[in-house]
Structure 1
Amino acid sequence: MTAESSPSAPAAPGGAVHPEPPVPRRRITAELLIVFGLSLGQSGVYAIVSLAEKLTRGPLAAQTTTLNPVLDDRQYFDLTYQLLGIFFALVPVALVLFLLSGHGVSAFRRLGLTFERPLRTIGFGIGLAAVIGIGTLGVYAGGRALGITTALVPAALDTYWWTIPVLILSAVRHAVLEEVIVVGYLFLRLRELGWSTPAIILTSALVRGSYHLYQGFGPFLGNVLMGLLFAWFYTRSRRVMPLVLAHALIDITGFVGFTLLGPAIGIGG
């Protein structure tokens, strides 16, 4: 797979073609701060504070972190809150797509958020999910053994007709939000600021790890490693869609698998 060619510059009156004026560095920096302040940067700050709070309570190994918790004890209010949370979490993605659009260029194509070569895209997604999934289990087990990771409950929703669909939507939400912003968007903008590829890969990985710190140091390390692989893959392919598919598959397996199989093996329900 190769990187997409840059878009043609718009033609000026009289037939002359002028290059698109560069975006000022200060504007790009401000844009990055705003986007991350509204999304994963904000999550990273809260995660650091949450970890500090957990450390003041006692050993991380004795504590539990619950993902996808119940938001209301009444079924349809819980459903409403769950759907609202998913919807509003994706607003920063809409903002990024808007910011990257213009001059006749599709933001989806710039990010590689398309299903071009669908079989290859799906194949890469499944392959990345398998590698990361196995690695995640190992890092989690190691973190628990070392006492640096909280016990994770991937899903704690009550059992309703909408539980599984909402968990799938939640997984897709995480996948789209993280891969579009912390890989595709971040890579494009830092490139415009003149950053080197290794620096971008490392920054992307560290940002990804930061907003998982509320789960402990093990998930931070695991997500940094995941971030290194995903960012490296993006530099080779310029395709976000395989990363979205891989991330969604990992989270769907964790959320839905825990909900369906957890009670059967005595760790859920």
Structure 2
Amino acid sequence: MRAEAAEGEEGGLVCANCGSPLLEEDEECTVCGGGLAPAPSEEVPAEPVEMTPESRRLHYIEIALVLGVAFLLPVIYSLMYWLGNAKLSAETAFDALRRIIDAALAISVLAYVLYWQGRSLRRIGLTFRKTDLFWTVAIWFFDRLITSAIYQNIHGFATPKHVPAGYGGPLQWLAVIPGAAHEELIVRAFLMTEVAELSGSWAVAVFVSVGFQTLYHLYLGVPAALTVAGGFFVSAVFYASTRRITPVILAHSLHNFYYLSRL
């Protein structure tokens, strides 16, 4: 069966049924077979659009809801440790289990908010491609490069706070990927997309995302928080450039697996 051809937005021929590019007008579409079995295309995150005042207020409420559920307590505890100059306690198996539960709850709330926005996790970049492994390693490499450079410059006049190793059992390893997805889906993909839509600037979105993520890492002390902020910046720039969060989640997980392996 032949596909009917239509003119695409950029002037090329595309399948009128599924939008796949065609070389010739009477060419059979290899994606949907000319209308027999359409294949859904990957959702592409939308560019920032203008908002009405009512829509803008609603987005602020949604941001507050998602960030509140996911990070209110971490922000409070981080500021308490930082301002009170308290010593960090070693993590336990319960802490690792709690992180898994917190991640599941926060991501569920995020998915619910996205659903009412008419979007999905795929729409904010949670998709899978063959090149994800390459980009994962690339992000991790530049993360290590920048954080090492920052550490070398900070170490001379400020000593990072000591973080006790604590529990390193199976639950700690199982919590790595949920914890990475928790942070990156919300602080990176969701928050950056929302800020870009509200401000019309992905540069502002990068700044807000990195700033907020650094805020709840202040429990490590300012030197360490500034060091890890370099890695946050790498991930934020990658997301702003590609609108894809999967390699960022995997790179974050790789970083944490590497850290655990050295304990």
Structure 2 counterpart of 1:83: 97
The answer (yes or no) to whether the contact 1:167–1:256 under 8 Å persists in 2 is no
Q: Does 1:151 align with 2:151?
A: no
Query: How far did 1:175 drift?
Result: 1.0
The answer (yes or no) to whether the contact 1:168–1:256 under 8 Å persists in 2 is no
Query: CA-atom RMSD, angstroms?
Result: 2.9
Q: Does 1:206 align with 2:211?
A: yes
Q: In terms of mean alpha carbon deviation, does 236-245 or 225-234 score higher?
A: 225-234
How far, CA to CA, are the matches of 1:141 and 1:33 in structure 2?
36
Question: Which structure features the higher share of helix residues?
Answer: 1
The answer (yes or no) to whether the contact 1:41–1:211 under 8 Å persists in 2 is no
Query: How far did 1:6 drift?
Result: 4.8
Structure 2 counterpart of 1:49: 80
Structure 2 counterpart of 1:18: none
The AA in structure 2 aligned to 1:51 is W
Structure 1 counterpart of 2:122: 109
How far, CA to CA, are the matches of 1:99 and 1:136 in structure 2?
33
Q: Tell me the SS of whatever aligns to 1:93.
A: helix
How far, CA to CA, are the matches of 1:136 and 1:103 in structure 2?
36
Q: What's the CA shift string for 1:189-245, capped at 9, x where partnerless?
A: 223323411111111110111111000112221232222221111111110000000
Q: Which is higher, the Rg of structure 1 or of structure 2?
A: 2
Structure 2 counterpart of 1:60: none
Percentage of pairs with the same residue? 23
Q: Does 1:26 align with 2:37?
A: no
The AA in structure 2 aligned to 1:178 is E
Query: How far did 1:49 drift?
Result: 2.0
Structure 1 counterpart of 2:27: none
Q: Tell me the SS of whatever aligns to 2:112.
A: helix
The answer (yes or no) to whether the contact 1:44–1:207 under 8 Å persists in 2 is no
Structure 2 counterpart of 1:4: 44
The answer (yes or no) to whether the contact 2:146–2:230 under 8 Å persists in 1 is no
| Greater relative contact order, per chain length (Cα 8 Å cut-off, separation 6+) | 1
Equivalent residue runs for 1:1-269 within 5 Å: 4=44, 6=46, 24-54=55-85, 65=88, 69-70=91-92, 78=93, 82-101=96-115, 105=119, 107-115=120-128, 117-118=129-130, 120-140=131-151, 142-153=153-164, 155-157=165-167, 163=169, 165-258=170-263
**Number of aligned residue pairs:** 218
The answer (yes or no) to whether the contact 2:45–2:243 under 8 Å persists in 1 is no
Query: How far did 1:137 drift?
Result: 4.2
TM-score with structure 2 setting the length: 0.72
Query: How far did 1:157 drift?
Result: 1.4
